[in-house]
């Protein structure tokens, strides 16, 4: 299978392609620590637009550095400074940017909006987070999990909280590589139904198991990693206070971590709200690998850009 034209969601790549991205990310990480990047990577002479319709620290900076270290020119753009902010369609934006740049990385709201941009574009388009998926995050999460545990098969990751974009991408990514994914979510906050169904199909082939439960302890028991994300994602600010009450039983505490397997790690895509979805004791404690995850965004996205543009 040739590498896909775009990376709009985890399921755009096959399992072998996903594993090859993780291997490449590991090689890039090892190479970066032994010698500084000299900009001689495969993006020399290429410009990559980074379009953000929502705030970002990690994604914006890691993509900018990734492009630079691969020898290319990153072009960060916020929607407020584009005609997009004044009503130009996202499809026209994709078509126009394609006449100047060699790929477009986009953070936006609905997956339909990302798809419209990709339909208008003639260059590769990368999902840098939508309301439905955060596939670049899932690449870094798998890389981090494998660094800690060495393998995926027979292992499990428990995600506790809102069945959001991060949960959706983890379901697909885990199911593809044989990592069991258990989601402990409040009533009414399950992950996307179509993604869950697809993850179950993928899991049947890989040997992973998918569990959705409203019991956080059931999700975490024996898990090799426990994962949290914010209770209210970007765009859901109006629901934050109501969620804050309903989500309290899903806070990752030392007590909840105590149900996980020996050697279990704590993961979080960040930004985190200490005292809400996770206690400071857990996220700042010895089991936390959250800054490795953040670092791995850089390596995983370099691998992705190289695969898309080679």
**Partner that binds at residue 57, options ligand CP, ligand NVA, none, CB closer than 5 to 8 Å by kind:** ligand CP
242 is catalytic: no
Q: For residue 290, what are its two tokens?
A: 């959250």
Told to judge if 137 belongs to the known catalytic residues of this protein, a careful annotator would answer: yes
Phi-psi region of 270 (alpha: psi -120 to 50; beta: other; left: phi over 0): left
27 is catalytic: no
Give the binding range for ligand CP (CB under 6 A) out of 12-20, 79-87, 254-262, 267-275.
267-275
Among 64, 137, 156, 279, binds ligand CP (CB under 6 A): 137
Which listed residue (58, 102, 134, 299) is catalytic?
Answer: 134
> Which of ligand NVA, ligand CP, none does 165 bind, CB closer than 5 to 8 A by kind?
ligand NVA
CA–CA gap between residue 137 and residue 78 (Å, rounded): 20
Q: Can you spell out the DSSP letters for 219-238?
A: HHTT-SEEEE--SS-TT-GG
CA gap 191, 273 in Å, rounded? 21
Residue 59 found at the interface with ligand CP (CB under 6 A): yes
Among 270, 273, 287, 292, binds ligand CP (CB under 6 A): 270
Between 233 and 279, whose beta carbon lies closer to ligand NVA? 233
Of residues 300 and 309, the one with the C-beta less far from ligand CP: 300
Of 154, 183, 161, the residue nearest 170 (C-alpha): 183
> 134 catalytic, yes or no?
yes
Q: How many CB atoms lie within 10 A of CB 106?
A: 27
Tell me how far apart the alpha carbons of residues 208 and 187 are, in angstroms, rounded to a whole number: 24
Q: Which runs of E-coded beta strand occur in the chain?
A: 47-52, 73-78, 103-107, 125-127, 156-160, 180-184, 210-213, 225-228, 265-268
Q: How far is the CB of 207 from ligand CP (least distance, A)?
A: 28
Shortest distance in whole angstroms from residue 71 CB to ligand NVA: 27
| 3 state SS of 78 | strand
Residue 155 CA to residue 209 CA, distance in Å, equals: 10
Question: Are 180 and 157 a contacting pair, CB within 8 Å?
Answer: yes
Query: Which span (11-19, 96-104, 239-247, 263-271) binds ligand CP, by CB under 6 A?
Result: 263-271
* Residue 98 or 196 having the CB closest to ligand NVA: 196
User: 3-class SS at 46?
Assistant: coil
Considering only 57, 83, 122, 151, the residue that binds ligand CP (CB under 6 A) is: 57
**Total residues interacting with ligand CP, rule: CB under 6 A:** 9
Query: Which positions lie near ligand NVA, rule CB under 6 A?
Result: 129, 164-166, 229-230, 233-234, 269
Between 202 and 298, CB nearer to ligand CP: 298
Closest residue to bound ligand NVA by CB: 233
Tokens 């260059």 label which residue? 123
Active site residue 107: yes
Q: Does 56 bind ligand CP (CB under 6 A)?
A: yes
Q: Which active-site residues does the annotation give?
A: 107, 134, 137, 229, 269, 297
């Amino acid at each position: 299978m040739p590498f896909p034209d775009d990376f709009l969601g985890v399921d755009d790549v096959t399992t072998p392609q996903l594993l090859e991205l993780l291997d490449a990310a590991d090689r890039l990480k090892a190479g970066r620590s032994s010698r500084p990047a000299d900009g001689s990577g495969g993006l020399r002479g290429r410009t990559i637009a980074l379009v953000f319709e929502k705030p970002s620290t990690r994604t914006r900076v890691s993509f900018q550095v990734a492009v630079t270290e691969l020898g290319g020119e990153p072009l960060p753009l916020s929607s407020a400074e584009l005609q997009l902010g004044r009503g130009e369609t996202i499809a026209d934006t994709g078509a126009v940017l394609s006449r100047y740049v060699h790929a477009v990385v986009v953070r936006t709201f609905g997956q339909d909006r990302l798809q419209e941009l990709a339909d208008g574009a003639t260059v590769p388009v990368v999902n840098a987070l939508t309301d439905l998926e955060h596939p670049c995050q899932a690449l870094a999460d798998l890389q981090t999990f494998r660094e800690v545990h060495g393998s995926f098969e027979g292992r499990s990751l428990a995600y506790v909280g809102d069945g959001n974009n991060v949960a959706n991408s983890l379901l697909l990514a885990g199911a593809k590589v044989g990592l069991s994914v258990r989601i402990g979510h409040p009533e009414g906050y399950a992950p996307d139904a179509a993604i869950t169904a697809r993850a179950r199909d993928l899991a049947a082939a890989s040997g992973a198991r998918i569990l959705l439960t409203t019991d956080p302890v059931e999700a975490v028991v024996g898990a090799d990693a426990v994962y949290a994300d914010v209770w209210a994602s970007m765009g859901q600010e109006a629901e934050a206070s109501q969620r804050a009450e309903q989500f309290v039983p899903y806070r990752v505490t030392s007590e909840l971590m105590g149900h996980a397997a020996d050697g279990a790690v704590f993961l979080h895509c960040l930004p985190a709200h200490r005292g809400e979805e996770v206690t400071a004791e857990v996220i700042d404690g010895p089991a936390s690998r959250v800054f490795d995850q953040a670092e791995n965004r850089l390596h995983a996205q370099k691998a992705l850009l190289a695969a898309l543009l080679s």
